[in-house]
Chains A and B, each alone.
Chain A
């Protein structure tokens, strides 16, 4: 676990951001309801930019954030979070094989059909936009606990993934950001110990899509991919090189890193050939079905509608109290986490406000220092201005810690819970399928009985064949159900352990940042005291 290190004192520097981002000299004041943080569907590719506006309107939040901070309230009612992970139909028809949705803070599955648009991805509301991206934000990326054992292999899990060097490729609306994905590992799964590839955002979405379609229906909790953001990306595409688009890129980079790290922490996903290919292969086929209104997108929309209806009608006979309890637990946890997330957002917001106000005060103190006649007092006032500027710096760093450690962690977990709920829903579907098969078998048997008295030998044979077929299906259905139940128990256990670990790591890093801030303050005050005393 890497210790928390203080960010570089170079302000507003971007680690490896190759665009010639011109840093604003003055701090950008919190924009009024900055659209960059509002809720829009994004499309990765230029050509689909306008196609998805249809769903944009539906996803717009009823309330736009005010520049002042959100009250620390539960945001679930008017949350603008991204949409929930949608269940996949794993039928023989492969239509939906690549369908995947972004996971959201909302539970739209409980909402009427049309509000489930295809992959509507809405970034969580952050009233103020000023999180200056810094290389050092990567300090807050939670590194893998290097002592974690995999349950399957028994080797020591030794793997570290970093996402870095965001680079703008191309021009205009066809441009995109390419990220460098570096893997360092000693595991035998990979051909080398250290390697890196270039990936773009839709590649990550594509990976998630494949994993979800392969594993969700057997009960594995597949970590959700980061959200899309139409406005964020548009700003980058049109070459708006300012603080907010730089922040957006950094936020995304960090989210992608956390996503990959979570994915490879899962023992089964780590071994998945798609994952390995993603990490190792230089070239990757373009994932096209992640776009909003492509053919697959439309199928997803239809699928979701059907899903929602189905869910309302499935009444499962829960024979296992464990599942019922757990579902309730996760419902509660969902609510709690959203509350916490809102609290932290408020904290981040105020902290940024403090930074702005401190800088403003520092300036006025400097002006005082300049105009003051009395030499020693003038010097002390100028020193005061410098101390306040340094303190402002500390506020900014602490705000990053607040955000990158807590806010993002909580946001990640809200989305993860949605994935967990998705898995529970899958189990219900599996059960339902099994029940349907049983019902059908019953009918076939009845039909056979009838045919026995009708003297139609070939129809009878057909009926007997069908019965055999459905008996097999019933058995398969039961096996599937048992398997998914077993997997879910395991997954939930793993999830809960991981949750505790994740939070502990974050808290320790946060404490380190708090200690660091106080120690810096001590230094500054100790340096200022003699200056104050020197006023004669």
Chain B
């Protein structure tokens, strides 16, 4: 690709990226992505599947010639959206959490949208020309490559455990590593627990629905007393129906704000942890290189020293990028969580006010019911 394309990638207005629609064909979802230039002229709309997103993510990872990338906290891509049938529901829930809930993949789309916005807003990542193709080319991006680049290094669990504990040379990073290990678990747990709460609310809505229907069936017109009783049952049926709608609204609010926020935060914490791990791996390499220099036989020593210098240089580069990333992350995550919390609170407040009014109206009506 030539230089003009490189500039075009930077021209995308990150916050204008929207997932405006999603259509489902069997098990396959297709997302409509719209975006605009920074100059405000010319919007573009493309259609992408989840596989295309994976391709994009891999492209971002696999720029071998940019060693700084290893210090980048990659915006986390949500897991594959599996439409849930009754037998797969538990699995989908476990994998996607809040992202699997809500009408028509609303929450999932929001998460994807945020992903694209974060990538496009990132100083390093937005320079990737594949991003431009992804956002504006009418053709499908390339097929998935074989997993290359940094991806591979993350898949070795045993190695990970051993290296994870490797002591750091830098206090800042050691402290960051410790905190992240702790916080990412806590966020994950909190997200799971909140999901349980929301699911229970949905169950309650269902139970209210059953109750309301049963009441509706208690109608009997045979005599004056039966009529009076029927009236009461119908009234109660309406009340329970309102309760049901209240639960549905409340859980919707939960899902689309705090639920999504917690979900995103726990994934981002994971991404940060992965970045720190990559750096730690490099640190291990550096320590090995240092040892090799000390142990090297005289004829090899010069070579080892070169390796050591190169490793050291790369490590310093990665560390400085990492530091910037962490600082930036700390700032933005607080903003993001704040926005979600405020949104959640405002929505729940409004729902509570509506319900309070409705129930009060019922109360007045019932008090006036002649018996």
Binding site for B on A (CB under 8 A): 69, 72, 325, 329, 332-333, 336, 339-340, 343-344, 346-347, 350-351, 353-354, 357-358, 360-361, 364-365, 367-368, 371-374, 376-377, 380, 384, 493, 496-497, 499-501, 503-504, 507-508, 510-512, 514-515, 518-519, 521-522, 525-526, 528-529, 532-533, 535-536
Contacts and interface: CB of A to CB of B under 8 A. Distances in A.
B183 interface: yes
Contacts of A510: 239
B183 A496 contact: no
Interface in B176-199: 179, 182-183, 186-187, 189-190, 193-194, 196-197
A511 B337 contact: no
Nearest to A528: B345
B222 A329 contact: yes
A504 B182 CA distance: 54
A364 B338 contact: no
B124 interface: no
A496 B207 contact: no
B232 A361 contact: no
B155 interface: no
A529 B190 contact: no
Contacts of B232: 500, 503-504, 507
Contacts of B214: 72, 336, 339-340, 343
A533 B225 CA distance: 55
Q: Which 7 A-B pairs have the closest CB atoms?
A: A496-B225, A518-B356, A525-B349, A343-B211, A72-B210, A361-B193, A535-B338
Contacts of A526: 349
Contacts of A72: 207, 210-211, 214
12 contacts: A347-B207, A347-B208, A358-B197, A364-B193, A380-B341, A501-B371, A504-B366, A515-B359, A518-B352, A521-B352, A532-B338, A536-B334
Given A368-B187, A533-B342, A346 B226 contact: no
A173 B31 CA distance: 70
B226 A374 contact: no
> B interface, by DSSP: helix, strand, loop or mixed?
helix
Nearest to A325: B222
B225 A532 contact: no
B321 interface: no
A340 B215 contact: yes
B272 to A, nearest CB: 13
Contacts of A522: 349, 352-353, 356
Contacts of B371: 500-501, 504
Contacts of A521: 348, 352, 356
A343 B200 contact: no
Contacts of B173: none
A474 to B, nearest CB: 33
Contacts of B82: none
Nearest to B190: A364
A347 B196 contact: no
Given A72-B211, A361-B196, 5 more contacts: A343-B210, A343-B211, A499-B229, A518-B353, A528-B345
B94 interface: no
Interface string B359-371: 1101100110101
Contacts of B360: 515
A371 B175 CA distance: 13
Contact of A500 (B193, B225, B362): B225
A350 B203 contact: yes
B257 to A, nearest CB: 11
B218 A336 contact: yes
Nearest to A347: B207
Contacts of B222: 325, 329
Nearest to B227: A500
Given A519-B356, A525-B352, A504 B207 contact: no
Given A496-B226, A532-B338, A353 B187 contact: no
B279 interface: no
B189 A364 contact: yes
Contacts of B346: 529
B236 interface: yes
